[in-house]
Amino acid sequence: MGVIFSPILNFHPHIEAMYCKGLQTLGIVLRLCKKFKISASLKAICCSLVRPLLEYASVLWDPCTAVDSSLIEYIQKLFLNASSFILNIDHPRLPTSYA
């Protein structure tokens, strides 16, 4: 099924693997889309490539800890910061610490 869990039936290893894969994919998307000037296309690419990685099997691991949910939120904040920079949108910077 592709879900990783520890011997104590904790889904933290799965969430860490999703986090790493999501960061890699987000980095590729942002490098390839740095010349985009239409927000809808940038959002569509991110929602079709990065978001499914973060939401895979979320029905199983949904009641996760605050640390695990902050890892996923970190990737979303990175996308928001980078997309606002690419599209020249003024906004207050979101804190991007995940711990």
pLDDT digits (tens, 9 = 90+) for 1-13: 677 877 887 888 8
pLDDT at position 1:
65
DSSP-based helix, strand, coil % in the chain, nearest 5: 65, 0, 35
pLDDT at position 23:
92
The whole-model pTM stands at 0.77
Q: Residue 99 pLDDT > 60, yes or no?
A: no
Per-residue exposure over 9-31, b if at least 16 CB sit within 10 Å of its own CB, e if not:
eebbebbeebbeebbebbeebbe
pLDDT at position 7:
81
pLDDT digits (tens, 9 = 90+) for 23-72: 999 999 989 888 888 888 888 888 899 988 888 877 777 766 778 888 88
